[in-house]
Amino acid sequence: MEFPDRSGVDGLIDPQPLPGFARVRYEPRTERLDDPVAATRDELDALDLDALPAGATVAVGVGSRGIDRIDEISAAVVDRLAERGFDPVVVPAMGSHGGATPEGQREVLAALGITEETVGAPIDARMGVEQLATVAVGDADLPVSFPEAALAADAVLVVNRVKAHTNFTGPVESGLAKMTVVGLGKQRGAKSFHSTAIAEGYVETLTAALDVIERETPMIGGIALVENFEEEIGHLEAVPAGSFLDREPELLERAYEEMPTLPIDDVDLLVVDEIGKEISGAGMDTNVIGRYRVLNAPDPETPDVDLIYVRGLTEETKGNGNGIGLADLTRRAAVDGLDLKKTYANALTSGSLAKSKLPVVAPDDEFALRTALAALGGYDPETVRIVWVRNTQDLGELRVSDAVVDDLPEAARVVGRESVGFDEGTAGFESEPTDGSDA
């Protein structure tokens, strides 16, 4: 596909003066767990491991991206299981990620720092699943699948972060239950889940599938992690099988209190430097940007963001640009980095097609910003409310247009003043001299 170069569109929209920007440090109060590795080892002993015979094989499901120190925690789980006399094996629990291939899923784990060498256990990345049962969810029949690699083990546990989901809200969202049903369901199970959930409800589908899995498989529990605003582990605990749906709502409430958010709710234009699967399953956290774009699920009430401009993809996402469809604008450099096979594998499995649509593609930053400002209507550099972030995970430092400064909360402080300049159409920030009163 050919996109217009600068000469083909330059005369369509006049240049606009840009506002001044403040560089802001945003530091809400938060809690941090000092030694999550030691906590992992201690908490693992709280699961019913004594019921397992010596030498039992234990499948450890891991695979969610962007979790703080997930490589160390996974290795700690494996190490403690081995110390207890068991035979651990790592099973990727990530649905269709990695292009829904064994090689791709191993690649995703490696990007997280999890290899057979670093974790100290074999990785069984087979994509084959066994259908455990078909259960009725509303008017739909849901086939419930589980991986052959995990069913071959004597026990199964999962390690995952409890957090707000990117498609829905409810008492249980992203966490141990979802990883058990969707992550360990591989591509086939994930596809069945999402297809049913879109029609009948995510929580209802999750609950029905988890009941089958707990009844038909050797699940023993999971290690639940809750991260703080700085994306560090603030809490960690073992949750026995059969207790996921009872315990996760309280952990989810804590996650909501701690999760990264924008410092303001009313935004004209949000500029996001990078999106990626290690940042969020949707490329950028839908709860941060205020957009789910999912059938039968209303968008979050806050924040209210009129337009979103995405500038690029992270290196770690390996071309999976799922979530780019949540933006209104992008630039050619981002599109050139897309791997459509990986992106479409994600979209087709989840059924959330909007997240993989292409937004308007601008030739460069200068024209993209020009386009966005014109699209706002009645643009005024003195009043426009722009927030500019690296990604939706790292929100401790960001930039806001001058009109936003007076509305910043107490936890946000201005540490400098900047202006936007362009080098061959690429945006860059230039520091402006201050009298020190903003620092």
Please tell me which residue, 166 or 199, carries the higher pLDDT value: 199
The rounded distance, in Å, linking the Cα atoms of 311 and 374 is 18
Average pLDDT over residues 145-163: 97
pLDDT class of 300 with cuts at 50, 70, 90: confident
The rounded distance, in Å, linking the Cα atoms of 224 and 180 is 12
Angle at 230 (CA atoms; ends 227, 234), nearest 5 degrees? 30
Q: What is the mean pLDDT of the chain?
A: 93
Q: Which of 212, 211, 209, 204 is nearest to 296 (CA)?
A: 204
Residue 439 has pLDDT above 50, yes or no: no
C-alpha separations of 427 from 43, 145, 336, 369, 400 in Å: 47, 47, 18, 9, 15
* Side-chain-side CA neighbours of residue 25 (13 Å): 7
User: Per-residue pLDDT tens for 263-283?
Assistant: 999 999 999 999 998 888 889
Tokens read off for 30: 């938060």
The whole model's pTM is what?
0.74
Residue 256 has pLDDT above 60, yes or no: yes
Residues in the chain: 439
Question: Can you give the pLDDT at residue 64?
Answer: 80
- What single DSSP character describes residue 438? T
Question: Can you give the pLDDT at residue 434?
Answer: 60
Residue 293 has pLDDT above 90, yes or no: no
The rounded distance, in Å, linking the Cα atoms of 318 and 118 is 21
Residue 426 forms beta bridges with which residues? 423
The rounded distance, in Å, linking the Cα atoms of 42 and 38 is 6
Tokens read off for 250: 């309280």
User: Per-residue pLDDT tens for 204-238?
Assistant: 999 999 999 999 999 999 999 999 988 899 999 99
Average pLDDT over residues 342-369: 90
Average pLDDT over residues 371-395: 96
Residue 296 has pLDDT above 80, yes or no: no
| DSSP H stretches of helix in 47-91 | 70-83
Residue 127 has pLDDT above 50, yes or no: yes
Neighbours of 331 (CB within 10 A): 26
User: Per-residue pLDDT tens for 59-74?
Assistant: 999 988 778 999 999 9
Say if CB 120 and CB 73 are below 8 A apart: no
Question: Can you give the pLDDT at residue 435?
Answer: 56
Phi then psi for 122, rounded to 5 degrees? -70, 155
Residue 193 has pLDDT above 90, yes or no: yes
C-alpha separations of 324 from 336, 355, 415 in Å: 13, 6, 31
- What single DSSP character describes residue 353? G
pLDDT class of 388 with cuts at 50, 70, 90: very high
What SS3 string covers 93-111?
CCCCCHHHCHHHHHHHHHH
DSSP three-state, residue 369: helix
Tokens 């023993």 belong to 220
Residue 94 forms beta bridges with which residues? none
Question: Can you give the pLDDT at residue 349?
Answer: 79
The rounded distance, in Å, linking the Cα atoms of 422 and 431 is 14
Query: Measured in whole angstroms, how far is the alpha carbon of residue 241 from the centre of its chain?
Result: 24
**Dihedral sign, Cα of residue 362, residue 366, residue 369, residue 370:** negative
High-pLDDT (> 70) share of the chain, %: 98
